[in-house]
Amino acid sequence: EDAAKIAREAGVKHLVLYHILPPVPPVLNHMFLDNVAKHYNGPITVAEDGLLISLPANSDKISIKNILK
């Protein structure tokens, strides 16, 4: 919830939540994100092992893929 509020206030374009302990099983992400979505209305990603986020230079593009899948 705090991260969502800070992201909104900072004008973040895509919120990535990582190092969440204990890890949230992917099937429960929707429950975990309900409260986050109340405070931030942009795209939200819950990181998992193998997630690779690329921010190419001179671009607004954000590339997200899991290199373990």
Q: What is the C-alpha separation between 40 and 27, in angstroms, rounded?
A: 21
Q: Which residue ranges make up each domain of the chain?
A: 2-66
Q: Which residues contact 39 (CB under 8 A, 6 or more apart)?
A: 1, 4, 5, 8
Q: CB 30: neighbour CB atoms within 10 A?
A: 10
Question: How far apart, in whole angstroms, are the C-alpha atoms of residue 40 and residue 9?
Answer: 9
pTM: 0.80
The model's pLDDT over 8-54, given as tens digits with 9 standing for 90+, comes to 999 999 999 988 888 888 888 888 788 898 999 999 998 888 999 99
Q: What is the DSSP string of 8-47?
A: HHHT-SSEEE---SSPPPGGGHHHHHHHHHTT--S-EEE-
